[in-house]
Structure 1
C-alpha cells in the first residue's frame, strides 16, 4: 500500500512539474506530454538500472501512465489563471515528487537486501533523476546542481528508511510530509550548501 501510494503521488506531482516547465518554455502539446512523462518516470528507470530491477517494468504501470497523462492533460487545458497559480506551485509539486520518490526508491533497494550505501543512492537517484532530466530538456540548470538544499532531503529519507527508523504506512507518510515541509522551508529561508565559485 505504501509503495503504491508513494508511486501515484510522486508520478502525478512530477508529471505536473514537467508539464509546467514545458509550458513555461513554450513547448507544444507533444513536448508537454513528453517532458511530463520523462520527469515522472526517469528517476525510476535510473534506479531500476542501478539496483537490478527490470527496466521494462515501466510498461506494466498502466495506472501510473494513465494518471500522469490525465494530470498533464488537465494542466494543459486549464484556464490561464489556474495555470499561473500552478506555476507558482511548481516548487511544491517538485517537493512532493522528490520526497515520494526518494522514500519509494529507498524502500525498493531495502526490500532487495541492498546495503545502506545502495539504499541512499537509490533514494537520491529516484528522487532527483526525473527532475534532472526535466531541467536539462527544459534548457535549465538542474536544481540539484545549485547550492540550494535539494538532494540532501532525498539522502535523509534514504538514510531513515535504511536504518529502519520508520515502518508501516503511517510512519512513511509522516516521513514524506516532513521531507516536503523541510524542502519548502529550505526554499523559503534560502538554506544553501557550502559552495565555491571559480
Structure 2
C-alpha cells in the first residue's frame, strides 16, 4: 500500500513541478506535457539504467502516466492568478516529490536485494533524477548540484531504509513526512553544504 501511495504522490508532485517550470519558461502546450512527464518519470528511468532494470519497465505503469497527464492538464487549466503563488509553493511540491520517490527508489533496491550503497544511490537518483532532467531541459542549474541541501535528504532516506530501520507502512509514511519537512525547513532556513569557488574576486583599486 505504501509503495502505491508514495508512487502516486511523487508522480503528481513532480508532474506538477515540471509543468509549472515549462510554463515559467513559456513553453507551448506540447512542451508543458513533455517536461511534466519527463520530470515525473525521469528519475525512475535513470535509476533503472544504473541498477540493471530494463527502462521499458516504466511503460508498465500505465495508471501512473494517466495520473501524470491529469495532473499536468489540471495545472495548465489553473487560473493565472492562482499560478502566481507557485514561487511560494513550488519548493513544497518539489520536496514532496523528492521524499516520495526517494523512498520508492530505496524500496525498489531493497526488493532486488541490492547492497546498502545501491539503495542509497537508487533513493538519490529516483528522488532527484527527474528534477535534474527538468532543470537541464529548462536551462536551469539543477538543485542537486547547488550548495543547497537537497539530495542529501534522499541519501539519508535511502540509508535509513537500507539498514532496515523502517519496515511497516506507518513507518514509511512517517519517514516521508520527516524527509519532506527537512527539505522544506532547509530551504526556508537557507541551509547550505560547504563549498569552494575557484573564481577570482576582483580587487578594488
TM-score normalised per structure 2: 0.95
Residue 49 in structure 1 maps to residue 49 in structure 2: yes
Do residues 123 (structure 1) and 123 (structure 2) align? yes
Task: State whether residues 99 and 176 of structure 1, in contact with CA within 8 Å, keep that contact through their aligned partners in structure 2.
Answer: yes
Residues 22-43 of structure 1: CA deviation (Å, up to 9, x unaligned)? 0000001100000000000000
Residues 61/100 of structure 1: CA separation in 2 closer, same or farther (3 Å cut) = same
* Count of residues paired in the alignment: 198
Which structure 1 residue ranges, 5 or more long, are not aligned? none
Query: Aligned ranges for residues 51-130 of structure 1 at < 5 Å?
Result: 51-130=51-130
**Structure 1 segment 20-59 matched on structure 2, within 5 A:** 20-59=20-59
Deviates more, 1:43-52 or 1:143-152: 43-52
Partner secondary structure for residue 70 of structure 2:
helix
Greater Cα radius of gyration, structure 1 or 2: 2
8 Å CA contact retained: 1:20, 1:87: no
Any idea what SS the aligned residue of 1:31 has?
Answer: helix
Aligned to 1:145: 145
Partner of 2:2: 2
Q: Distance in 1 between matches of 2:10 and 2:26?
A: 24
CA contact (8 A) 1:119 1:159 kept: yes
1:89 is paired with a residue whose SS is helix
Q: Secondary structure at the match of 1:149?
A: coil
Displacement of 1:87 after TM fit?
4.0
- Secondary structure at the aligned position of 2:85 is classed as helix
Structure 2, unpaired ranges of 5+: 199-205
Match of 1:179 in 2: 179
Match of 2:193 in 1: 193
Moved more, 49-58 or 140-149: 49-58
Aligned-CA RMSD value = 0.8
